[in-house]
Amino acid sequence: MKSSIFTTMGLIGLTIGLSAQETPTDSIKGKKIDLDEVFVSAIRVTKESPVTFTNLTKEQLKPRNLGQDIPILLNFMPAVVTTSDAGAGVGYTGIRVRGSDATRVNVTINGIPYNDSESHGTFWVNMPDFASSTQSLQLQRGVGTSTNGAGAFGASLNIVTDGVSEEAFGQISTSVGSYNTLRNNIRFSTGLLNDNVEISGRLSRISSDGYIDRASSKLDSYFLQGAFKKENTLLKAVLFGGHEITYQAWYGIDAVTLESDRTFNPSGIHTDENGNTQFYENEVDNYKQDHAQLLWNQQLNDSWSTNLALHYTRGRGFFEQFKEDDDFATYGFQPLTVNGAEVNTTDLIRRRWLDNDFYGTVFSANYTKEKLNLILGGGWNKYEGDHFGEVIWAEFAPNSSIRDRYYDDSSKKTDFNVFAKANYKLDANWSLFGDLQYRAVGYQANGEDTGMVDDTFNFFNPKTGVTYDLDPNNNFYLSYAVANREPNRNDYESGNPKPEKLNDYELGWRYISPDVQLNTNVYYMNYKDQLVLTGELNDVGAPLRANVGDSYRFGLEIDANIALGSKFSINPNMALSSNKNKEFVFQRDGVLQDLGSTNIAFSPDIILGNRISYSPKEELQISLLSKYVGKQYMGNIDAKSSMLDAYSQTDFNVQYVIEVNSVVKSITLSALVNNIFNAKYVSNGYFYTYDDTWSGPGTTTIEGAGYYPQAGTNFLLGATIDF
């Protein structure tokens, strides 16, 4: 109850939200993009664009950046819901925006796609501590700009890595916390050498036992950047990557276990030869991912600039799993006779591998003169992936040899797009926006789960809008955008999925003054053949989806930044929405039923957030952050057993900077207490149904659910030394 009170403080009167679009003293005209960010100008927007967005900077992320993943750091942004498999924000984490899951939230890093080409998802565990190398980010809600690639269907998250530092520096940072969480990193920059060259980098290591039993994480990552900067030229070579070893925690628990033993983890469970329950100690994900980017920005003259990027990503790793009494047929083993009895099952340990390459180019040219801002560009990317399985130990393994593959699949995907978009200023008040994109996608796969796939998709995605500047403080916008998107790999498991189409309408008002920033918008997202989450998981924990015909998301979002004098500020936000399948059909008890209008899975009707900050002096900042997420269904049939209860969470954050002004320039002390009221809440789960024809006459539909409990009160303490 106390947590709910703190959550709703500052939300009275429907005003207000988390992060500022820019700093409070900026005008409604937006601000000039720094040379470091010119490359992503093709996909980033300012207030002159009819797009709903929120910006966050490194300084805004810094007080809470103590080792948790980027989705957890974004938890208090408007219309955002986050979750953590291990329960405390380290390891596998996820984000949903406006009810759109991670496969719809497109992520780009320096303008280069990060979403996995096949699953469309983002695996932040492969980039531990990446927030420490992030200069700024922009979250676009809705379709956003059309240049964001496959995942841009509900939201877009555009990340810019560290800019060029003119001054040399060194930094050592450490943080410790609950569940034996430990984060250490070092950062450095040479500063500009001969006014032209800079080399910078970061090394990080994070470990945690996790809130959930055995949900441990061992995470290493690096970031290295070389930059050449001269007058109108910026050239960057960026290398970054990570290695994660994470004990699996995606199985969840049922309602009974949630009440009796909420940290229980069934992963790796089996019985030994004496009938005792055991847990396999190496039921882990073990995956490495390395990224290389070459970025070139050239200012040709006062009107023209060009951007070119080449990129390559290498990923490889496996999921190791103990299987008890598994069928020989799954692995191509022949039955054998032991002590006169036929044996066709065995205990075994298997590894399911991914080995993939992703490479391509992204390019654009920008023309700016007087009333016109024109961007022409595109991209070509190719993905090549191998999926294969190995048995590394078995009690019985007839007719097999070490490193035999019991399945061996491959897949290829090409993604090409070209676009032209322009913002034309009619007069001092009115601006017109237009955006045309053609996108061609080819996908081939031969997996046993997908069947033979050889699909080609051609999409045309137009967007248009208008912006009206009433005065330097008030700005209005109206936009209409179309997005089309291909199915992902998992969609093919359920049959022959259709591509989905979205028509997105956005109407917004922005108000900016020195003390108040207010952003409010209404949206209507109308879908055809939307691939909604069914609530079910496949055999490796990936969410399954299915086409549902006609559906929509309709909502109101309000967020603000209000300065209450020189020491206090509040940043509340609110998202109210209705998310419906229009005519949902479901087979229950063997009979096909028209359920009519039902709620879309994982789409709460209300999401509230707030941050209250107090700075009694410049070097000290104290913040209270709160979040409320309304009830949501984990399936699409409005079943009571599929409901996740509403929950609230409140965090306490302190940062204190000690200026030293010697060899050590400053020491920053940080503390973060998550969930200070020890709320017992669940932010994610799964829901399934199946037909029971064995228990009696006829067919009975059985329902079940699993839950991912989140940690109670927990803390992180950190210290950063700057040289």
What pLDDT was estimated at residue 42? Answer: 64
- Give the least confident one: 44-48, 105-109, 510-514: 44-48
DSSP calls for 396-451: --TT--TT-EEEEEEEEEEEEEEEEEEEEE-SSSEEEEEEEEEEEEEEEE--TTT-
φ, ψ dihedrals at 70, nearest 5° = -55, -45
For residue 28, name the pLDDT band (cuts at 50, 70, 90): very low
For residue range 298-331, list pLDDT tens digits in order.
Answer: 999 989 999 999 999 999 999 999 999 999 999 9
Residues facing 270 on adjacent strands: 278
Q: Is the pLDDT of residue 695 over 90?
A: no
Q: What is the pLDDT of residue 151?
A: 54
Structure tokens at 4: 């709910």
pLDDT at residue number 148: 59
| Top-confidence residue, 38 or 631 | 631
Percent of the chain with pLDDT over 90: 78
Percent share of the chain, pLDDT over 70 = 92
pLDDT at 1: 41
User: What mean pLDDT do residues 374-387 have?
Assistant: 94
Going by DSSP bridges, is the β-strand pair 591-599/573-588 parallel, antiparallel, or unpaired?
Answer: antiparallel
pLDDT of 723 higher than 50 = yes
Sorted by where each begins, the domain ranges of the chain are 2-722
Count of residues making up the chain: 723
Q: What is the mean pLDDT of residues 89-97?
A: 95
Per-position DSSP letters for 44-78, written without gaps between them: ---TTSS-EEEEEEHHHHGGG-SS--HHHHTTTST
Which has the minimum average pLDDT: 32-46, 448-462, 529-543, 613-627? Answer: 32-46
pLDDT, residue 13, reads 32
What is the pTM for the complete model shown? 0.92
* Residue 76: pLDDT over 70: yes
Contact 587, 610 (CB under 8 A): no
- Nearest to residue 19, comparing CAs of 517, 635, 458? 517
Higher pLDDT, 516 or 26: 516
pLDDT band at 340 (very low <50, low <70, confident <90, very high): confident
Question: To 5 degrees, how large is the angle CA 482–CA 549–CA 557?
Answer: 50
Range with the poorest average pLDDT among 11-15, 215-219, 552-556, 677-681: 11-15
Is the domain defined by 2-722 classed in CATH 2.40.50.100? no
What are 533-580's pLDDT values in tens digits? 888 888 888 888 889 989 999 999 999 999 999 999 999 999 999 999
Per-residue pLDDT, 535:
87
Written as one letter, the residue type at 490 is N
Please tell me the predicted confidence (pLDDT) of residue 150: 54
Q: At 690, is the pLDDT very low, low, confident or very high (cuts 50, 70, 90)?
A: confident
Structure confidence at residue 538 (pLDDT): 84
Model confidence band, residue 35 (pLDDT cutoffs 50, 70, 90): low
Neighbours of 80 (CB within 10 A): 25
Cα–Cα nearest to 511, from 503, 502, 519:
519
Question: HSE-up of 713 (CA within 13 Å, CB side)?
Answer: 6
Q: What was the pLDDT predicted at 9?
A: 34
| Tokens linked to 714 | 């927990």
- Residue recorded with tokens 């939201």: 155
pLDDT at 413 over 70: yes
CA 298 and chain centroid, separation: 31
The whole-angstrom separation of Cα 330 and Cα 326 is: 8
Task: Tell me which residue of 7, 51, 5 sits closest to 477, measured CA to CA.
Answer: 51
Q: How far apart are the C-alpha atoms of 404 and 400, rounded to whole Å?
A: 7
Q: What integer is the mean pLDDT of 220-230?
A: 96
pLDDT average, residue stretch 611-636: 96
- Which among 68, 80, 61 has a CA at the least distance from the CA of 604? 80
Per-residue pLDDT band for 152 (boundaries 50, 70, 90) equals low
Does 30 or 250 have the greater pLDDT score? 250
* Phi (first) and psi of residue 39, to 5 degrees: -60, -35
What one-character-per-residue DSSP string does 555-589 give? EEEEEEEEEETTTEEE--EEEEEEEEEEEEEEEET
pLDDT of residue 36: 64
Q: Facing residues of 24 across strands? A: none
Q: What is the pLDDT of residue 696?
A: 63
What's the whole-number average pLDDT of the chain? 90
71 neighbors 627 (Cβ within 8 angstroms): no
Q: Is the dihedral of CA 673, 677, 683, 686 positive or negative?
A: positive
Condensed to tens digits (0 to 9), the pLDDT of residues 423-476 reads: 999 999 999 999 999 999 999 999 888 889 999 999 999 999 999 999 999 999
The pLDDT confidence band at residue 40, using thresholds 50, 70 and 90, is low
Contacts of 12 (CB under 8 A, 6+ apart): none
Lowest mean pLDDT among 150-159, 448-457, 521-530: 150-159
Q: What angle do CA 109, 68, 180 make, to 5 degrees?
A: 145
Is residue 275 scored above 70 in pLDDT?
A: yes
**Which sign, positive or negative, has the C-alpha torsion 522, 524, 530, 534?**
positive
Return the DSSP state at 335.
Answer: P
Poorest-pLDDT segment among 9-23, 251-265, 355-369, 496-510: 9-23
